[in-house]
């Protein structure tokens, strides 16, 4: 009698590319263990994973279509709650069809609340068990609501160290969390370290939801043009466009890099600039590259992570508003 093939559905949220990138080593491990991963996501996250795993089944889920139009996270989410609820309902309906068609045994949902099924073993992966939503009076209600949603899942995976503070501090180590099965995986990253000589002074990885992604990119290009004595490599984080690579003066721009190419670029750079997203912090924790981390305006999780990460002497932080050539030059003078 042949051994049953186990099918695992992996469903990362498309909210920037961080959820998709941290699923890459998990998908690789699923394959190494002889099981069959099936990927389901949307937009840029789905495009990225299709490029990383062209041999796997990749399915499209309904998009959340969240935009940070305001720099106040509370109002961003308050005005788009209907989008979140609608997307969770639609993705749950899609999951029911996928489970039946592909005989799914387990679902690993990275922050997609509608990705569960009563016939499967359901895992929810997140480093945010304690949501840092402002204002304070609203935070308790939001966290209580999240805990209710997570009761649909059999297990919670946390990509952080079990001992506080880990990398995510209070986000991943809540004092009042009551899910019966929480597993701390340690930080997950596709990045590896090896010795290699530097090729550029500064690597910038542009990422995150619009419209702040484009605002960040425009600001970085202006700064790079002003600081001509440094060699810049700017990765635009656009896996859904045709590959583009160009060099103008001291600035090289690339539309997107795959896992190995990005790993190599980080190791070949003297300094890194990017968002203070948790997946980026996990990646940087694997290497010795010094970095400036800028939170997406209005994203309270990234603002909190930027605040606690500066305790590490390798990392610096400033707001997007404070970001200019003087700020970067001052930091570079410190590390030279």
- Residue 18 contacts residue 299 (beta carbons within 8 Å): no
pTM, entire model: 0.91
- For range 165-184, the mean pLDDT: 90
Among 145, 110, 81, residue whose Cα is nearest residue 19: 110
**pLDDT at 176 > cutoff 90:** no
Which has more pLDDT, 134 or 253?
Answer: 253
Mean pLDDT across the chain, nearest whole number?
91
| pLDDT tens per residue across span 112-171 | 999 999 999 999 999 999 988 766 777 888 888 888 899 999 999 999 999 999 999 999
Query: Residues 11-29: what's their mean pLDDT?
Result: 94
- Listed in order, strand segments (DSSP E) in 126-279 are 155-158, 182-184, 200-205, 232-235, 245-248, 251-254, 269-275
Is the model's pLDDT at 1 over the cut of 50?
A: no
* Residue 120 pLDDT: 98
57: left (phi over 0), alpha (psi -120 to 50) or beta: beta
270: Cβ contacts below 8 Å, ≥ 6 apart: 198, 200, 201, 202, 289, 290
**Domains in the chain with CATH codes:** 7-184 (3.40.50.2000), 200-335 (3.40.50.2000)
- Residue 213 near residue 206 (C-beta atoms within 8 A): yes
CA distance 212 to 214: 5
- For the ranges 3-17, 112-126, 289-303, the one whose mean pLDDT is highest: 112-126
Helix (H) / strand (E) containing 291: strand 290-294
Higher pLDDT, 201 or 312: 201
In this structure, of 173-177, 315-319, 332-336, the range with the lowest mean pLDDT score is 173-177
Q: How confident is the model at residue 69 (pLDDT cuts 50, 70, 90)?
A: low
**Structure tokens belonging to residue 119:** 């016939």
């Amino acid at each position: 009698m042949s051994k049953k093939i186990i099918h695992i559905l992996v469903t990362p949220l498309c909210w920037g590319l961080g959820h998709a990138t941290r699923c890459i080593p998990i998908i690789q491990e699923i394959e190494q263990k002889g099981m069959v991963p099936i990927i389901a996501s949307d937009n840029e996250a789905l495009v990225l994973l299709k490029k990383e795993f062209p041999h796997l089944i990749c399915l499209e889920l309904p998009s959340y279509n969240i935009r940070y139009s305001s720099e106040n996270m509370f109002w961003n989410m308050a005005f788009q709650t209907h989008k979140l609820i609608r997307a969770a309902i639609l993705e749950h309906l899609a999951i029911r069809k996928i489970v039946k068609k592909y005989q799914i045994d387990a679902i690993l949902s990275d922050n997609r609340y509608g990705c569960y099924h009563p016939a499967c073993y359901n895992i929810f992966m997140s480093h945010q068990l304690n949501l840092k939503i402002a204002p304070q009076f609203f935070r308790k209600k939001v966290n209580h609501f999240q805990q209710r949603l997570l009761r649909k899942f059999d297990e919670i995976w946390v990509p952080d160290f079990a001992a506080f503070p880990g990398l995510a501090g209070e986000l991943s180590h809540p004092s009042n969390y009551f899910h019966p099965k929480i597993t701390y995986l340690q930080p997950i990253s596709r990045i590896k370290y090896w010795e290699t000589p530097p090729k550029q002074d500064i690597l910038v990885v542009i990422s995150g939801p619009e419209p702040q992604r484009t605002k960040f990119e425009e600001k970085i290009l202006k700064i790079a043009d002003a600081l001509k004595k440094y060699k810049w490599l700017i990765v635009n984080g656009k896996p859904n466009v045709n590959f583009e690579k160009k060099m103008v003066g001291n600035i090289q721009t690339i539309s997107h890099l795959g896992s190995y190419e990005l790993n190599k670029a980080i190791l070949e750079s003297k300094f890194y600039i990017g968002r203070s997203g948790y997946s980026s912090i996990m990646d940087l924790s694997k290497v010795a590259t010094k970095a400036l981390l800028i939170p997406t305006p209005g994203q309270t999780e990234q603002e909190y992570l930027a605040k606690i990460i500066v305790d590490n002497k390798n990392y610096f932080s400033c707001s997007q508003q404070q970001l200019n050539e003087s700020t970067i030059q001052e930091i570079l003078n410190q590390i030279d």
